[in-house]
């Protein structure tokens, strides 16, 4: 099966991630679900040099189709997709503010209602483990339970979604929240929203950004 269009979209998204400043250099990686496996950005190749054919195809057993070398973080991409059937895309980046908090072992609590965009009343920080290991993958999957994004201690962040566009949008929002939380911490400890309030916000997020069915099919 030819996945050339998806490969092109992965390359374009990878370049966007760097252009938007939520990743730099060759750090970070992007994976997308395909039937029976995933496509993932290659190891150590600058995004501006990456071509669609450089994107690596993998099976869920970890096998590689062809001669490409997948990102060293392929395990958590594979395991997140395996654990979360609703997820189609995983974006990992070393976004500056998210990584700063992660290096302090801090997640992002309910200091702002938009934290709910990641699916809960907090964005957790997974414990540290050596990059590329099964241990790190296990920590990431656990931190994402009931969530769409998490931080990785002393490492970076992960965002998930159904599509590349949706997942990139979430990664941007998580980095914005990380920056806001970091800035608030320069003054003091932010006042957190209550669990009850976050539950109300989470309910609202079920229809956030979605057009009503009556207008979704309308022409124009």
Q: What CATH code is carried by the domain that includes residue 42?
A: 3.40.225.10
Catalytic (active-site) positions: 73
Domain count, the chain: 1
pLDDT tens digits, residue range 174-195?
Answer: 999 999 999 999 999 999 999 9
**Which stretches of the chain drop beneath a pLDDT of 70?**
1-2, 209-220
Predicted local distance difference test score (pLDDT) of residue 215: 44
What is the C-alpha separation between 153 and 32, in angstroms, rounded?
Answer: 23
What is the C-alpha separation between 157 and 91, in angstroms, rounded?
Answer: 8
Is 143 part of any domain? yes
Is 21 part of any domain? yes
Predicted local distance difference test score (pLDDT) of residue 220: 39
Predicted local distance difference test score (pLDDT) of residue 2: 66
Instruction: Note the pTM of the prediction, 2 decimals.
Output: 0.93
Is 152 part of any domain? yes
Residue 43: domain span: 4-207
What is the C-alpha separation between 103 and 174, in angstroms, rounded?
Answer: 16
Predicted local distance difference test score (pLDDT) of residue 207: 82
Backbone dihedral angles phi then psi of residue 52, each to the nearest 5 degrees: -50, -40
Predicted local distance difference test score (pLDDT) of residue 212: 55
Q: Count of CB atoms within 10 A of residue 149's CB?
A: 28
* CA-wise closest residue to 80 among 166, 142, 173: 142
CB 144 within 8 A of CB 160: yes
User: Token pair of 59, please?
Assistant: 């099976």
CB 122 within 8 A of CB 109: yes
Is 220 part of any domain? no
User: What is the distance of C-alpha 103 from the center of its chain?
Assistant: 18
Is 53 part of any domain? yes
CB 62 within 8 A of CB 74: yes
Is 56 part of any domain? yes
Predicted local distance difference test score (pLDDT) of residue 217: 41
Is 125 part of any domain? yes
Is 179 part of any domain? yes
Predicted local distance difference test score (pLDDT) of residue 198: 97
């Amino acid at each position: 099966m030819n996945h050339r269009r998806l490969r092109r979209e992965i390359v374009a998204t990878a370049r966007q991630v760097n252009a938007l400043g939520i990743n730099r250099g060759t750090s970070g990686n992007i994976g997308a679900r395909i039937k029976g496996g995933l496509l993932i950005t290659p190891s150590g190749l600058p995004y501006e040099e990456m071509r669609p054919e450089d994107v690596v195809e993998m099976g869920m057993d970890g096998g590689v189709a062809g001669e490409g070398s997948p990102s060293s973080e392929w395990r958590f991409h594979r395991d997140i997709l395996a654990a979360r059937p609703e997820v189609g895309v995983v974006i990992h980046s070393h976004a500056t503010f998210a990584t700063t908090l992660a290096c302090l072992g801090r997640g992002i609590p309910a200091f702002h209602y938009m934290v709910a965009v990641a699916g809960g009343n907090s964005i957790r920080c997974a414990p540290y483990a050596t990059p590329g290991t099964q241990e790190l993958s296990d920590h990431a999957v656990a931190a994402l339970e009931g969530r769409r994004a998490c931080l990785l201690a002393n490492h970076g962040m992960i965002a998930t979604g159904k599509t590349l566009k949706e997942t990139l949008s979430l990664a941007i929002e998580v980095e914005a929240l990380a920056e806001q939380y970091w800035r608030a911490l320069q003054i003091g400890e932010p006042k957190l929203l209550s669990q009850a309030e976050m539950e109300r916000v989470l309910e609202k997020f079920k229809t956030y950004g979605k057009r009503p069915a009556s207008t979704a099919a309308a022409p124009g």
